[in-house]
Amino acid sequence: MAPALHAAPLAAINKGDVAWMLTSTLLVLMMSIPGVALFYGGLVRAKNVLSVMMQVLTVLALVLLLWTAYGYSLTFSGGGAFIGNFDKAFLDGISASSQASGLPEYLYFSFQATFAGISCALIVGALAERMKFGAVLAFTVLWFTFAYVPVAHMVWAPSGWLHTLGALDFAGGTVVHVNAGMAGLVGAALLGPRMDMGRTAMRPHNLPLAMVGAALLWVGWFGFNAGSALSANATAALAFVDTLLATAAGVLAWLGAEAVFRKRPSMLGGISGVIAGLVGITPACGNVGPLGAIAIGALASLACLWGVNGLKRLLRVDDALDAFGIHAVGGIAGALLTGIFSVSALGGNGGNGFGMLHQFGIQALAVVITLAWSALVALLAGLLVKWVYGLRVSDEHEREGLDTTVHGERAYDD
Amino acid sequence: MAPALHAAPLAAINKGDVAWMLTSTLLVLMMSIPGVALFYGGLVRAKNVLSVMMQVLTVLALVLLLWTAYGYSLTFSGGGAFIGNFDKAFLDGISASSQASGLPEYLYFSFQATFAGISCALIVGALAERMKFGAVLAFTVLWFTFAYVPVAHMVWAPSGWLHTLGALDFAGGTVVHVNAGMAGLVGAALLGPRMDMGRTAMRPHNLPLAMVGAALLWVGWFGFNAGSALSANATAALAFVDTLLATAAGVLAWLGAEAVFRKRPSMLGGISGVIAGLVGITPACGNVGPLGAIAIGALASLACLWGVNGLKRLLRVDDALDAFGIHAVGGIAGALLTGIFSVSALGGNGGNGFGMLHQFGIQALAVVITLAWSALVALLAGLLVKWVYGLRVSDEHEREGLDTTVHGERAYDD
Amino acid sequence: MAPALHAAPLAAINKGDVAWMLTSTLLVLMMSIPGVALFYGGLVRAKNVLSVMMQVLTVLALVLLLWTAYGYSLTFSGGGAFIGNFDKAFLDGISASSQASGLPEYLYFSFQATFAGISCALIVGALAERMKFGAVLAFTVLWFTFAYVPVAHMVWAPSGWLHTLGALDFAGGTVVHVNAGMAGLVGAALLGPRMDMGRTAMRPHNLPLAMVGAALLWVGWFGFNAGSALSANATAALAFVDTLLATAAGVLAWLGAEAVFRKRPSMLGGISGVIAGLVGITPACGNVGPLGAIAIGALASLACLWGVNGLKRLLRVDDALDAFGIHAVGGIAGALLTGIFSVSALGGNGGNGFGMLHQFGIQALAVVITLAWSALVALLAGLLVKWVYGLRVSDEHEREGLDTTVHGERAYDD
Amino acid sequence: MNGVLPVNLITSIIRPHKLDAVRQALEDVDVNGMTVTEVRGFGRQKGHTEMYRGAEYVVDFLPKIKLEVVVTDDRLQAVLDAVQLAAHTGKVGDGKIFVVPIGQVVRIRTAELDGDAL
Amino acid sequence: MNGVLPVNLITSIIRPHKLDAVRQALEDVDVNGMTVTEVRGFGRQKGHTEMYRGAEYVVDFLPKIKLEVVVTDDRLQAVLDAVQLAAHTGKVGDGKIFVVPIGQVVRIRTAELDGDAL
Amino acid sequence: MNGVLPVNLITSIIRPHKLDAVRQALEDVDVNGMTVTEVRGFGRQKGHTEMYRGAEYVVDFLPKIKLEVVVTDDRLQAVLDAVQLAAHTGKVGDGKIFVVPIGQVVRIRTAELDGDAL
Ligand SMILES: Nc1ncnc2c1ncn2[C@@H]1O[C@H](COP(=O)(O)OP(=O)(O)O)[C@@H](O)[C@H]1O
Ligand SMILES: Nc1ncnc2c1ncn2[C@@H]1O[C@H](COP(=O)(O)OP(=O)(O)O)[C@@H](O)[C@H]1O
Ligand SMILES: Nc1ncnc2c1ncn2[C@@H]1O[C@H](COP(=O)(O)OP(=O)(O)O)[C@@H](O)[C@H]1O
């Protein structure tokens, strides 16, 4: 994502840019609801589908307002290396005629707001089927404030530390996916596994629903990736084609591996490949060429396949819907591969001065910083919430399901 | 919504505007199908889900053709105070090069057509689960002709009475929501309550479906609201951010109230808050600032919470899916609050000459006129249809469900 | 669809065009997933829903990569009458600054890629519920290579044979729908009927799902049709309004016929009317006026109603989800009617030199060529796959359902 | 203590929309426990027709509710009468009641037996 | 009138895809009423395996159909034979038939009893 | 061969989440066949409340599992004990076990009868 430039507020705004960014913003909103809500909702058991959908919706709504209150300002206002300032808190000083990055600032604000929203919504997947509703909200608010906002500032603000180091993260692979996936892992570890874990099968209750969610995520992701060009220009077109092809490669890689190793390629595998390919190409989509995108999509997909199998068995954490196994692992793979495939010999737009090894190092640094920062904040936030309010619902509520016990309703009826 | 200006048909059209309005138009279409169809379909019992979806689809198709035949012309052609003329009936005189409001007229026509479509589709919710299919169509056609068209003309045509009075209704809070909600209430009163009302629980048969519907309504509503700027400009961006934040506030207000008063915030509450916030901000979104939008979203949501509880018990009408309780109540709240939050001291763009009390009066007048006009037309239309054709299906059909008895099919099978 | 012009690569690109075409491309992607996946998924029995969704997703992913490898180049590069060349295979020579048809070439490439994807995905409907997964993929790849690519070249490339003859196919009625429908018919005939055909009812397992699919197809089809203008201009607006109204007419025609002949208008009928109207208007939408569009929508719908009833009984082929009965029949009706309603006396933009009879002949020729070519390729491809790998799953797998036996998972669980 | 009385399983196949009425009638004769299953019934009553893409056919099974109540002998007749009255519409398809003598009943919670277990 | 003959409840657990054949066979021996329930069976027959994100396991219950038919003694054997033949595939998992004597039958519509109620 | 022993149908109504434990307990006493139905139970145990747009009400039926096992007389008591123990929580709503003597059993696959059919 291009950094927010406030230099030329009086320049004429191109309506084609505005048209595309209005569309992109609603596409990113659509990724959260219904996208993630459907994807996660379909993957849990029928007794908990409303609870995850509620968590996604409420976290989104909450973060949109917090973004208004201080998130936007702390991220994009002011010149600190680690955090911004409060000058634009509550949209102070912004009017319909304000501009940012060549767009009406309200639009730029909205676009960025939907990124904050989906980042927090993604975490819900790791915590599914056992966490108190209030605890989900509290945990998310703390993480948003102390992890999302500073990391976004460090990576995207012109003065941000990682930005000045030269870390490449076109659309948010590190800020969004590595960041959120790590928080999910820590949260899930603090929560402990679901009570029936290992004893009964925790099958998705409605895979077609999850498939629709994944499909809408793909569609919406064009807003996320091509929208991060902040303009209807050639970079947007590049990000678009990269997003299209990396995802196709992600699907085929996952299904191919399943066909070889398990004989039966699965729907859950196919949609996991969709997400993995999308996550992988996110940091790279403005920098690598279409063939590089295909490679990244396939490699990220295989990395995530390992993430939800081998790595998951190693970690022994009940990351219920694989927020870490897909978003963090895919995000790490993507960030590192961006360093490689951006080189012009591999079709990237890295230019002459681009040093693959050097860039790889910076990318790795950005990943490690993000992982560490996010994990630390998630740990402290989770412990605080546990101590003050408690993290888990009672066993009886967990057994009966969160829909009836926490929200007083059932998903399905005759 | 800016009035249709036909003054400068030869001016160059900006392609950015066209791009955004093409997108907006399909977004508003998406609000009806699948948006409203899903939202309503999920909220009824399983034996009636197809019937409401059919009603939404058929009403939409019918109104699109009637809009072509005479609706557009009577609304936007001619200079009357209460109604237009037939000059553009059947799109007479319009070609691909015609312009309206700075857009290709075919596009302007299409955008407005989708507004007419969703207004009529909304009414279906009040009448659900017991009305003859033919009666729904006849009732809707009459109401469209004698209520929607004149009210839209009065509010949006440059010569329209309420328009010249200065009523503010940026995207159609009065024309669409108050208007349709009132028609639903009258229709439901004429129909009588569903047969099991009060004896058995009429639970939503599929809340995830309704949630997806609400989510797509939110996404599509950006076409409705920001599209009403008719241009990819700063006003569209303002309407966009207002629509984003008001809805978030609507969700949190409803859930907060449920958490306080019932201990258990619900999914149905959350999605009701989505719709309530959206309805509330609709008339205001081109005029109030983001903080005003948050206030309006929250207040409209609380008003609707009362609308579907306290008020509903008062009215004793089986408005099955709360077309009145949410759309009319939220629309009224929004229309009145527009008068307040448009003032520049509260972040609105009311300007210097803007008198809050004066505007509040005009807004109230527009609401009252719309309520009265819509109620009268709905009453006469309902009585006529009842007399000529009958309104309700037989008890046996109602008991077995409308899907099998009216449409000859079942929604779900193994 | 306007042919790909590569003449002026250095001309300034209009960002409004780019904005609309980015949007259009993702809309066409959305037609495949979730559109077609939902539509087909809802219509099969519960034990096969994942299998059709998998086939749609995997075919799409595969074709996107094949389009990159050679499809795009063979279709749009080079000046042959029947096929292009390999100059742009693997996007050779294309960079972010390349242009095609006034757009960034990556965008033009992506837009066309989604057309290839949906064409192949449509075929899946005819083959549903009994075909080996690998056989679906192999059959599709062969058909894509030897039928889709040459027909698309013949119709859309400036040097293509049917293009130079003057065949009108604005958005792909012949290339996509006639072509794919015919392949489906031949494939289904080679496969043989589903084992319970005629003995048990093969009811749709989830009509609301199919309804959502149809609704998203309608929404996405604006990208397909109005996007085929390749610009946010007056032609796009014309294609838009035509697509809106033809579909409305398609719905009402089908439901009207059902109401008259069967007393009970059905949801399956309504959504079939949606698709029929859309298919019918596809070749015509840049050429006929709105009233012509209404006529075409209604007539194509009635033709398809016959296609899935009378004609289907005649053909005695188990075209499971009516890929031929709707897409080919509707496509043929649309192609022929385009020849008629393009005449300016009927509101079309045929111009003075336009000869209705002459054009009708050309349209018929294009249809016949496409039908014959597609059938031949499908026949050879099907026989080859049958011989090498086999087409059908075992009876036991078919009886138990393809979801568990081929993909190792079930769609629904508690 | 009615642990000595013989016990019967009364199985009723009824119309789904009659469930509430039958439950009420059973409560009125002081039967508060029962188990309900959704079943499909074939019988004299014929179903509606459905149409799908040209294929029209009669649905020959109909949704019914199976209601199982276990009671001691002394209340058998009262329950039979209650169900028969409450589930009655007089049209074909009202359903049947079957009575089967039961050998033994156990309440899982308390391990009480037979009449005491109800 | 066969109101005096003893009555039996025949419960058959069969493969779902055999339902149509069994129904046909029952009609052929003039049994037109029956009640059908979707059940899950555990037994010798083993289910397929399913995989979800790395977790692979055997599904140990299988969908079966429970078919309940009430007939008088004179037709019992004919019904048993009809079901056994029609539901037979010869592979593990074909299912079982249980016969339980019934004390009383009531037709709700008419209050007819026992054999007359069928 | 235990074809001569009397046979019983043991029907247990249990809590859904106890199904796995009960199945395990049955396997431990060498019972490997059973049939399971999802049912709804009314009884002393009261359901949760649900709210929909202002309407709040108690859900008075509860999801239960009906487990049917057919065994010969010699194993009846072992099965009863196994189920009672495994399904027990001690709270209201644990459910019941009913035993009904069976007249005849047929294994469809082999046409074996009675004890041999199990
Ligand atoms: N012989 C039978 N055995 C088991 N169930 C039966 C039998 N006959 C009827 N039923 C059940 O009773 C229901 C009603 O029977 P039906 O013949 O339609 O009407 P009625 O009970 O009024 O004579 C059927 O749908 C079926 O579920
Ligand atoms: N002891 C039993 N009690 C109740 N139902 C049983 C019993 N044994 C088997 N069944 C039912 O019969 C079905 C078939 O039994 P199974 O052992 O798999 O094959 P077969 O009947 O061919 O021996 C099971 O799925 C189950 O529903
Ligand atoms: N008289 C009865 N007849 C049939 N089923 C019963 C009867 N009483 C209880 N049940 C079943 O047993 C379940 C548990 O009964 P309940 O009274 O709630 O608790 P408990 O078994 O602990 O006394 C009920 O939900 C119902 O399914």
Mutation target vs E (from D46, D98, D99, D100; most E CBs, 10 A cutoff): D98
Tell me if D62 CB under 6 Å of ligand 1.
Answer: yes
F56 at interface of B, judged by CB pairs closer than 8 A: yes
Higher pLDDT, B114 or B203: B114
Residue B96's pLDDT is: 95
Q: Do B409 and D20 touch (CB under 8 A)?
A: no
Mean pLDDT of chain B: 95
C195 at interface of E, judged by CB pairs closer than 8 A: no
D9 at interface of F, judged by CB pairs closer than 8 A: yes
Please tell me the number of the ligand nearest to residue E94's CA: 2
B354 at interface of C, judged by CB pairs closer than 8 A: no
Average pLDDT rounded to a whole number, residues A267-291: 98
D60 at interface of B, judged by CB pairs closer than 8 A: no
Which residues on B lie below 8 Å from F54 (Cβ)?
A: 308-309, 312-313
Residue C11's pLDDT is: 65
D72 at interface of E, judged by CB pairs closer than 8 A: no
Tell me if E14 CB under 6 Å of ligand 2.
Answer: no
Q: How far is the CA of E46 from the centre of ligand 2 (A)?
A: 11
Q: Are C52 and A237 in contact (CB under 8 A)?
A: no
d(CA C224, CA C387): 37
Q: How far is the CA of D21 from the centre of ligand 3 (A)?
A: 19
Q: How far is the CA of D43 from the centre of ligand 1 (A)?
A: 5
Ligand 2 atom with minimal separation from the E93 CA: 19
Tell me if D13 CB under 6 Å of ligand 1.
Answer: yes
Mutation target vs C (from E20, E23, E24, E50; most C CBs, 10 A cutoff): E50
F21 at interface of E, judged by CB pairs closer than 8 A: no
- Span A212-231, pLDDT tens digits: 999 999 999 999 999 999 99
A/E interface, count of CB pairs below 8 Å = 27
**Which protein residue has the closest C-alpha to ligand 3 atom 26?**
F41
Mean pLDDT of chain C: 95
Cβ-based neighbours of B218, under 8 Å, separated by 6 or more? A29, A33, B247, B274, B278
Q: How far is the CA of D98 from the centre of ligand 1 (A)?
A: 11
Mean pLDDT of chain A: 95
Average pLDDT rounded to a whole number, residues C295-316: 96
d(CA B284, CA B295): 11
Average pLDDT rounded to a whole number, residues A295-313: 96
Q: What are the φ and ψ backbone dihedral angles of A248, each rounded to 5 degrees?
A: -55, -45
Q: Which residue of A has its CA nearest to C33?
A: A215
Q: How far is the CA of F115 from the centre of ligand 2 (A)?
A: 13
Please tell me the number of the ligand nearest to residue E8's CA: 1
**Closest Cβ opposite residue A322 in set E53, E56, E57:** E53
d(CA D84, CA D25): 10
A386 at interface of E, judged by CB pairs closer than 8 A: no
- Of the candidates D108, D98, D75, the one whose C-alpha atom is nearest the C-alpha of residue D9 is D98
Residue F118's pLDDT is: 79
Q: Are F13 and F64 in contact (CB under 8 A)?
A: yes
pLDDT band at D60 (very low <50, low <70, confident <90, very high): confident
**Closest Cβ opposite residue D49 in set B200, B399, B408:** B408
Tell me if D67 CB under 6 Å of ligand 1.
Answer: no
d(CA A122, CA A31): 10
**Does the pLDDT value for residue C5 go beyond 70?**
no
> What does the H/E/C string look like for chain C?
CCCCCCCCCCCCCCHHHHHHHHHHHHHHHHHHHHHHHHHHHHHCCHHHHHHHHHHHHHHHHHHHHHHHHHHHHHHHCCCCCCCCCCCCHHHCCCCCCCEECCEEHHHHHHHHHHHHHHHHHHHHHHHCCCECHHHHHHHHHHHHHHHHHHHHHHHHCCCCHHHHHCCCCCCCHHHHHHHHHHHHHHHHHHHCCCCCCCCCCCCCCEHHHHHHHHHHHHHHHHHHHHHHHCCCCHHHHHHHHHHHHHHHHHHHHHHHHHHHHHCCCCHHHHHHHHHHHHHHHCCCCCCCCHHHHHHHHHHHHHHHHHHCCHHHHHHCCCCCCCHHHHHHHHHHHHHHHHHHHCCHHHCCCCCCCCCHHHHHHHHHHHHHHHHHHHHHHHHHHHHHHHHHCCCECCHHHHHHCHHHHHHCCCCECC
**Which protein residue has the closest C-alpha to ligand 1 atom 27?**
D41
Test site for ligand 1: of D12, D13, D98, most ligand atoms within 8 A of the Cβ: D13
Average pLDDT rounded to a whole number, residues B143-172: 96
D53 at interface of C, judged by CB pairs closer than 8 A: yes
Q: Which residue of B has its CA nearest to A28?
A: B219
Q: Which range is least confidently modeled, A345-354, B112-121, F5-14?
A: A345-354
Peptide bond into B34 cis (omega under 30): yes
What ipTM was reported for this prediction? 0.95
**Closest Cβ opposite residue A37 in set B27, B211, B291:** B211
**E117 three-state secondary structure:** helix
Q: Which residue of F has its CA nearest to A47?
A: F63
**Which protein residue has the closest C-alpha to ligand 3 atom 24?**
F41
Residue F1's pLDDT is: 46
- Span B272-324, pLDDT tens digits: 999 999 999 999 999 999 999 999 999 999 999 999 999 999 999 999 999 99
Global pTM?
Answer: 0.95
Q: Do B201 and F54 touch (CB under 8 A)?
A: no
Q: Which range is least confidently modeled, B81-85, B242-246, C10-14, D51-55?
A: D51-55
Please tell me the number of the ligand nearest to residue F11's CA: 2
pLDDT band at B6 (very low <50, low <70, confident <90, very high): very low
Burial class of C351 by CB neighbour count within 10 A (0 to 12, 13 to 18, 19+): exposed
- Span A373-387, pLDDT tens digits: 999 999 999 999 999
> Which residues make beta-bridge pairs with E12?
E67, E97
Q: Which residue of A has its CA nearest to C19?
A: A20
pLDDT in 10s for each residue of chain F, 118 residues: 455 788 999 999 999 989 989 999 999 999 989 999 999 999 888 777 777 776 767 777 889 999 999 999 999 999 999 999 999 999 999 999 999 999 899 999 988 877 777 7
Rounded to the nearest angstrom, the minimum Cα separation between E82 and chain F is: 11
Which residues on B lie below 8 Å from C244 (Cβ)?
A: 25, 29, 64, 110, 113-114
D38 at interface of C, judged by CB pairs closer than 8 A: no
What single letter denotes the amino acid at residue C156? W
Please tell me the number of the ligand nearest to residue F63's CA: 3
E4 at interface of C, judged by CB pairs closer than 8 A: no
B203 at interface of A, judged by CB pairs closer than 8 A: yes
**What stretch of H or E contains B180?**
helix B179-191
**Does the pLDDT value for residue C2 go beyond 60?**
no
Q: Which range is least confidently modeled, A104-113, B291-300, C213-222, E29-38?
A: E29-38
List all residues whose CB is within 6 A of at least one atom of ligand 3: D 33-35, 68-70, 107, 109, 118; F 13, 41-45, 62, 64, 92-96
- Span B32-79, pLDDT tens digits: 999 999 999 999 999 999 999 999 999 999 999 999 999 999 999 998
**Which protein residue has the closest C-alpha to ligand 1 atom 13?**
D95
**Does the pLDDT value for residue A57 go beyond 70?**
yes
- Span C28-37, pLDDT tens digits: 999 999 999 9
All partners of chain C with 3 or more CB pairs under 8 angstroms: A, B, D, E
d(CA C176, CA C63): 14
- Span C82-111, pLDDT tens digits: 999 999 999 999 999 999 999 999 999 999
Residue A5's pLDDT is: 41
Q: Which residue of A has its CA nearest to B20?
A: A19
